[in-house]
Amino acid sequence: MADASVCRDRRITTGGMAAYGLGHFGASALMEAMLTLLVAFYATHDPDTGGPYLSIGAATFAVGVGRFLDAFLDPLVGYWTDRIRTRWGRRAPVLAATLPPMCLFFALMWLPLTPSPSVANLLALTASATLFVMAFTAYMVPYLAWLPDLARSVGDRTRAMGWMAFFNVLGVALGSTGAGQLAAVPALGFGGMGLVLAGVTLATGGVTLATGLHRLEQAAPERPALPIVAAVRTALANPHFRHYLPSFALFWVGLRLLLYSLPFFIMTVFEVPKGQAAAAMGTLMGCAIGVGALLFPVIPRLAVRYGKARLYRAGLGLFCLTAPLLPLVGLVGDAGTGLHQAMVLMAVAGIPTGIMFVIPYTLLADVIDYDEDQTGTRREALYFGVQGFFVKVAQLAGLGLGGLLVGGLGTTSASGPRLAGPMAAVFVAAGLAWFRTYALQPRDAPTADER
């Protein structure tokens, strides 16, 4: 692809935005397939032997080791990649170096060493899952940190994030639905599915790297680097980062709490058998993601017209208004009517979903610009790494709270899942209240054509 197709007069074009967004597609598919299918693959019945590859506890432990270590890796990766200087920029070389191992370790996760539970299976899964997650983080932190360099105006950043969100949604759909369908093909199985998704990711990531986006990077000032602890401390001292980050983390606590409880809500309120709950969950999630995806072309215009901070507050506020309505679903009518009510509610929830898929990362880009104005250095990856750490901790907190809520009141009772919506809204409302003092204005005002 010619350079002119991704940039013109040092400004990213629509083709460049699409090329950037494509880099998220495969990575999203790999992570979603891991989260959705991996533990079930190891812990469920194997038709050849009549037994699983690992117990559910062992498989969960093997996957959880990497997820735990991964949270601490984000700031380290960010700190390191900000200091890289090459003729190809700071981000592209890291993406090129981490893309192949990420794909390799993903494929290896789906290849158990023995046909029955064994220490070899446990060690192999622990190693491959941990290395995959670490490679995924080493790829995603510089990828996200590329945004402030590639797109510098309000309109360009929100449009680029819209493309990224679009490909992210496609990747999630491939990983959550398409991966299972590929694994069901007798000639492929789960091992073949792993190879196919790894190949797709390698190809799409390669397209992103081949477009020459690195030519849009701003030259990073040469300044002595602070030690990592001091660098993280100064980032957290950024007043606008402090006003933004807790609100985003609290949003993820609420969202993960709600998503954890939703399958139990489906099984208890709609009386859907366990084996069919995943399909119903997919339908409901499709309603939210579908509406959110339809908004991606509109969100950049709204951000330019009304401001990103105001749109972010609107996203948090709409979530707070829709989530508490969950307990009302299914109170009138039969189970089928209740499911239709849930589909309508999830479609409405797609509006804040679309906003929160796009706007937060553009706000962080503004925070990074402010940091450069104050320090004379560009530390995009450090900021995205610190955010990644807090978001992953928030997600774990949301999952833990969901487990306590559902498990404490009984997995066969609808009481816990019904309370998940209002409880999630409480956390998001706290995030909205925290964000009220955020007052950073973007460095560049919207241009006339962006308006």
Q: What is the CATH number of the domain that holds 74?
A: 1.20.1250.20
Position 183: which residue type? A
**Domain match, 75 and 188 both:** yes
What's the pLDDT score for residue 222? 58
**Domain match, 166 and 138 both:** yes
What is the distance between the alpha carbons of residues 18 and 21, in angstroms, rounded to a whole number?
Answer: 5
For 238, left (φ over 0), alpha (ψ -120 to 50), or beta?
Answer: beta
**Domain match, 171 and 233 both:** no
Q: Is residue 220 part of a domain?
A: no
What's the pLDDT score for residue 52? 85
pLDDT tens track, the chain, 451 positions: 445 455 455 678 888 899 999 999 999 999 988 887 888 788 775 655 567 888 878 888 888 888 788 878 888 888 888 777 788 888 889 999 999 999 999 999 999 998 888 999 999 999 999 999 999 999 999 998 888 888 777 778 888 888 998 898 889 888 877 888 888 888 988 899 999 999 999 999 999 999 888 777 766 555 656 788 888 899 999 999 999 999 999 999 999 888 888 878 888 888 777 656 667 777 887 888 889 888 888 998 898 889 999 999 999 999 999 999 998 887 877 777 888 899 999 999 999 988 998 899 889 989 998 998 888 888 888 998 899 899 988 988 887 888 788 776 655 567 778 899 999 999 999 999 999 999 998 866 554 454 5
Domain housing 266: 226-437
Q: Is residue 448 part of a domain?
A: no
Query: Measured between alpha carbons, how far apart are the two ends of the chain, in Å?
Result: 29
**Domain match, 55 and 105 both:** yes
Residues 201/27, Cβ–Cβ less than 8 Å: yes
Sign of CA dihedral 53, 54, 60, 62: negative
Q: Is residue 221 part of a domain?
A: no
**Domain match, 119 and 32 both:** yes
The tokens describing 363, both together, are 């706000």
Position 276: which residue type? Q
What's the pLDDT score for residue 50? 62
Q: Is residue 199 part of a domain?
A: yes
Q: Is residue 84 part of a domain?
A: yes
**Domain match, 386 and 324 both:** yes
Angle at which helices 308-322 and 415-434 cross, to 10°: 160
Q: Is residue 1 part of a domain?
A: no
**Domain match, 402 and 349 both:** yes
pTM: 0.80
**Domain match, 368 and 422 both:** yes
**How many other CB atoms are found less than 10 A from the CB of residue 215?**
15
- Indicate the residue among 187, 215, 243 that finishes a domain: 215
Position 235: which residue type? A
What's the pLDDT score for residue 219? 60
Q: Is residue 443 part of a domain?
A: no
**Domain match, 189 and 239 both:** no
Residues 6+ apart with CB under 8 A from 138: 73, 77, 94, 98, 102
**Domain match, 292 and 374 both:** yes
For 55, left (φ over 0), alpha (ψ -120 to 50), or beta?
Answer: beta
- Indicate the residue among 161, 192, 215 that finishes a domain: 215
Q: How many domains does the chain have?
A: 2
